[in-house]
Amino acid sequence: MSTTQANKIEINKVATSKINQVDFDNLNFGSVFTDHLLECDFKNGEWQTPVIKPYAPFLLDPSARVFHYGQAIFEGMKAYKDEQDSIWLFRPDENFNRFNSSAVRMAMPEVPEEVFMNGLNELLKLDHEWIKKGLGNTLYIRPFLIATGEGVIANPSEDYKFMIILSPAKAYYSGEVKVLIAEHYSRAANGGIGAAKTAGNYAGQFYPTSLANKQGFQQIIWTDDATHTKLEEAGTMNVFFRINDTLFTAPVSERILDGVTRKSLIDMAKKEGLDIEVRPVLVSELVEASKNGSLKEIFGAGTAAVISPIAGFSYRDEYYELPKVSDSFAMILKEKLTNMQHKLIEDTYGWTVKVS
Amino acid sequence: MSTTQANKIEINKVATSKINQVDFDNLNFGSVFTDHLLECDFKNGEWQTPVIKPYAPFLLDPSARVFHYGQAIFEGMKAYKDEQDSIWLFRPDENFNRFNSSAVRMAMPEVPEEVFMNGLNELLKLDHEWIKKGLGNTLYIRPFLIATGEGVIANPSEDYKFMIILSPAKAYYSGEVKVLIAEHYSRAANGGIGAAKTAGNYAGQFYPTSLANKQGFQQIIWTDDATHTKLEEAGTMNVFFRINDTLFTAPVSERILDGVTRKSLIDMAKKEGLDIEVRPVLVSELVEASKNGSLKEIFGAGTAAVISPIAGFSYRDEYYELPKVSDSFAMILKEKLTNMQHKLIEDTYGWTVKVS
Ligand SMILES: Cc1ncc(COP(=O)(O)O)c(C=O)c1O
Ligand SMILES: Cc1ncc(COP(=O)(O)O)c(C=O)c1O
């Protein structure tokens, strides 16, 4: 792409904002979108001029590759507003880099930094009123890339569409989260696409998760598909386990998404003087720790879910309830993290980035 | 769905056919589509009235679930024209059943038989001129189902769109096919979605296949992801191995698509008196058989590829060339199969179904 093309962003504003129709106190996650979106097409081997325009449906050919062969990747980020009305992102470079790693794994073109970052910045500035102040209020950011090339033949598309859409959001999970530990179904294969943030990884979880839901569990903690003995991650969260006063989380691998929240919590735990070990955690250890009372907490960590404490887990038809702890590591870390993201405490890590 | 709704199909014909613009002697697989398509939406828990209408792009919301979470399944079938201008399908019930098994695995609604079968029949009758007579001429049929519901939250869509599009086709692979045996990358996980014909299974293969292409191999033969010792299937074909005078093919499993061509060839081989064994085939066996000269043939089998002989395979950087055999089982079976499909010989299996 010629830099001139990516640097200039075409902007078409809506005639009237729909913001007044939105009840910001009653938002279902991911269901309301702001006035504008960013769009940038990849055609003839080149990224075209990015365009910011009114959020609206768009046309695709019935043979578009995304429908048939699933070339589709995305990211999940959030924007926060501080008390001075400035807008902040949290480690956006991590999302940008992961997006392009996903692109490579799915044989899609990498999105230039100018398109992703400048595009996002401009879009956020335009729709800044959609970001509300106060802890718990965020704007969820969904960059995604889909294969738009025509033809029902199983090979990579020539054409792609990159988009960023924005959705004002409160918490992702509300209410108690009980999890089921996977004994048969799996999320990812060795040498597969589990580490990529690609659409197909999610649809594959829906059916097993619906079975879990019927048994009263909201989420599944996936295990390695070869032996089902190692705890890996949940549907949209990495997972941490606290045994006595040590936190454990699985190392990232080809099967596990390298979560930004996970890696931030690891660094924060270290700085806070919490004991943390990154190593494979066995299902048997978890069951054992629960039985002998040393299992104190389990929590999920992800951009959408933030930190989501888990009330108990089921394994081989046995339910293991977690104790109520007064010094919850989940709560300590969640408070630090969200306060930092909302600029209520100092960011000593250099993770928060101002939109300007 | 009320049966009345599904039984009546709304038909909107094109003003002028584009068939005269098509060069039927020079078709790239899956790139040209007929005048019409079938569309049927699933909304409010119900299938709506199926519509046959001009092939054209359609509108989707940027937050449509198919883009973000990959709920998308498809089938691949073919229609054939006999010398009397009748149109025939090959075991369409198998595709219909597999489609709905895929739907269940991907947490999507099953498509009613009236919509799938009557819809296909009506569509084929309308676009019958696009099916050309003669061995090697076929009409490739692509039924597919995508999640159209809006919202960036990782759970199943409420709304779906079912479509059938048609593409006149010659052979899928042309030229010599050399394959690489997977040592690191994988197609499917135990307990995963490998047995479903779902979009994400294909995109995941593109990158490893592009690496194989660079080394001069057109396809990969996937192995089990846990040990990479068992031969499973190729990207869009099941695989058969002939050692001495016995044919071998892997049993279907959660990781392998239950191919219609594969199961037909197994039955045909038995009837033809060819020795056939369905059992796991090890990479080590294949290498050994190649070294001692007992490996006679490898071929892929699938609707698009029909039967695709393989010229040689690479494993651990060693290339194993296959011998030229005069009594090729691949050729014997291919001739029988395609002649049966085109009604040039009697169908003693009851597999061919007339469109009327
Ligand atoms: C599968 C999966 N694991 C983990 C995460 C957490 O990653 P992050 O903290 O970067 O949001 C996500 C997404 O948010 C995910 O989709
Ligand atoms: C992964 C995969 N394996 C095997 C096959 C062969 O199946 P069938 O013979 O039903 O076309 C296909 C599709 O055509 C496929 O996509």
Domains B2-169 and B177-341 share a fold: no
If you measure CA to CA, which chain B residue comes closest to A195? B204
The answer to whether the Cβ–Cβ distance between B201 and A70 falls below 8 Å is yes
Instruction: Point out the ligand nearest to the CA of residue A204.
Output: 1
Report the percentage of chain A scoring pLDDT > 90. 95
B202 neighbourhood in chain A, CB within 8 Å: 68-70, 154
pLDDT digits (tens, 9 = 90+) for B197-234: 999 999 999 999 999 999 999 999 999 999 999 999 99
DSSP conformation class of B344: S
Left (φ > 0), alpha (ψ -120 to 50) or beta: where does B273 sit?
A: left
- Nearest residue by C-alpha to atom 7 in ligand 2: B259
A72 touches chain B (CB under 8 A): yes
End-to-end CA distance of chain B: 24
Q: Is the pLDDT of residue B2 over 50?
A: no
pLDDT digits (tens, 9 = 90+) for B306-327: 999 999 999 999 999 999 999 9
pLDDT of residue A292: 98
Give A65 to chain B, closest Cα distance, Å: 9
Q: What is the mean pLDDT of residues A256-266?
A: 98
A37 touches chain B (CB under 8 A): yes
Q: Is the pLDDT of residue A1 over 70?
A: no
For residue B266, give both structure tokens.
Answer: 């197994």
pLDDT of residue A5: 57
Gyration radius of chain A over CA positions: 21
Q: Which residues contact A188 (CB under 8 A, 6 or more apart)?
A: A194, A195, A201, A222, A225, A232, A254, A255, A256, B189, B192
Report the percentage of chain A scoring pLDDT > 70. 97
For residue A23, give both structure tokens.
Answer: 């009840």
Q: What is the mean pLDDT of residues B259-275?
A: 97
Averaged confidence pLDDT in chain B: 96
B55 touches chain A (CB under 8 A): yes
pLDDT digits (tens, 9 = 90+) for B128-153: 999 999 998 999 999 999 999 999 99
C-alpha span between B230 and B254 (Å, rounded)? 14
Q: What is the CATH number of domain A2-169?
A: 3.30.470.10
Using an 8 Å Cβ cutoff, are B185 and B220 in contact?
yes
For residue B3, give both structure tokens.
Answer: 């049966």
Q: What is the mean pLDDT of residues B103-125?
A: 98
pLDDT digits (tens, 9 = 90+) for A114-135: 999 999 999 999 999 999 999 9
Say which CATH class A177-341 falls into.
alpha beta
> Measured from the CB, is residue B261 less than 6 Å from ligand 2?
yes
The continuous run of DSSP H or E covering B309 comes out as strand B306-315
> Measured from the CB, is residue B262 less than 6 Å from ligand 2?
yes
B146 touches chain A (CB under 8 A): yes
- Nearest residue by C-alpha to atom 7 in ligand 1: A259
Examine the predicted complex and report whether its ipTM is higher than 0.95. Answer: yes
If you measure CA to CA, which chain B residue comes closest to A183? B191
Q: What is the mean pLDDT of residues B183-196?
A: 98
A31 neighbourhood in chain B, CB within 8 Å: 150-151, 153
If you measure CA to CA, which chain B residue comes closest to A163? B62
Q: What is the mean pLDDT of residues A72-97?
A: 98
Amino acid type, A152: V
Q: Which residues contact A43 (CB under 8 A, 6 or more apart)?
A: A158, A159
Tell which atom from ligand 1 comes closest to the C-alpha of A261: 9
Annotated domain spans of chain A: 2-169, 177-341
The answer to whether the Cβ–Cβ distance between A190 and B186 falls below 8 Å is yes
Q: Which of A30, A57, A189 is facing B60, going by the closest CB pair?
A: A57
> Measured from the CB, is residue A302 less than 6 Å from ligand 1?
yes
If you measure CA to CA, which chain A residue comes closest to B207? A107
pTM: 0.97
Q: What is the mean pLDDT of residues A248-266?
A: 98
DSSP track, A216-263: T-SEEE-B-TTTS-EE-B-SS-EEEEEETTEEEEPPP-TTS---HHHH
Q: What is the mean pLDDT of residues A298-303?
A: 97
> Measured from the CB, is residue A221 less than 6 Å from ligand 1?
no
